[in-house]
């Protein structure tokens, strides 16, 4: 089992615009037809098959709720989805929806998160604050970042603070014909 922060970031290190939108990513048109732009092991489906549970912040969760309002389906059916928030948020109905909204530090929830993942990985979906909390407490194993050749100039950073410890160790690089590059880092503790 591994705790992984898996996301896309602009060339200058942002995961979203300042207003939390990601059209710079969803509208990126340099992807070759049929190209899966994610993960070393054969694509998103293979990555996701190894995920046992997910954790995100409220803004990422609200983005997903917006997707549901536009007629989309719950993307994490059958997997526990931990939401870190101090606010009261709605929980969607539906088969396979397992949303657990908690107002507590990552360190207090970590054992329960791991237990809920079973033998699968724990995916830190976003955002930068949540990922930074995991790193600051020595709880993140890997950062898998797909760098998109778009410069935003400002926005929501990949991590929202300086991280303790030494530099992460690069363990893989996968360039794509789309211009994207996936970087895989091991987090040193």
pLDDT per residue as tens digits for the range 116-159: 999 999 999 988 999 999 999 999 999 999 999 999 999 999 99
Closest CA to 147 of 179, 185, 186, 187: 179
Q: 59-94 burial string, b = 16+ CB within 10 Å, else e?
A: ebbbbbbeebeeeeebebeebbbbbbeeeeeeeeee
pLDDT tens figures, 15-49: 999 999 999 998 887 655 555 555 555 678 889 99
How far apart (Å, rounded) are the C-alpha atoms in residues 34 and 43?
11
Closest CA to 155 of 28, 27, 13, 26: 13
More confident residue, 107 or 44: 107
Q: Is the pLDDT assigned to residue 50 strictly greater than 90?
A: yes
Q: What is the pTM of this model?
A: 0.91
Q: Where do the domains of the chain lie, and which CATH numbers do they carry?
A: 3-186 (3.40.430.10)
């Amino acid at each position: 089992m591994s705790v992984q922060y898996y996301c896309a970031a602009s060339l200058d290190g942002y995961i979203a615009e300042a207003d939390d939108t990601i059209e710079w990513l969803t509208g990126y048109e340099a992807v070759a037809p049929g190209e899966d732009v994610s993960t070393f092991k054969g694509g998103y489906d293979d990555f996701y098959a190894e995920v046992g549970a997910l954790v995100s912040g409220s803004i990422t969760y609200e983005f997903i709720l917006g997707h549901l309002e536009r007629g989309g389906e719950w993307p994490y059916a059958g997997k526990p989805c931990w939401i870190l928030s101090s606010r009261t948020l709605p929980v969607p109905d539906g088969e396979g929806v397992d949303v657990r909204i908690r107002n507590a530090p990552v360190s207090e929830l970590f054992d329960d998160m791991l237990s809920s993942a079973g033998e699968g990985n724990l995916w830190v979906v976003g955002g930068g604050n949540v990922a930074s909390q995991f790193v600051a407490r020595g709880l993140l194993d890997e950062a898998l970042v797909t760098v998109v050749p778009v410069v935003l100039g400002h926005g929501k950073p990949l991590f929202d603070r300086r991280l303790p410890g030494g530099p992460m160790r690069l363990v893989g690089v996968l360039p794509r014909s789309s211009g994207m590059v996936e970087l895989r880092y091991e987090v040193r503790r």
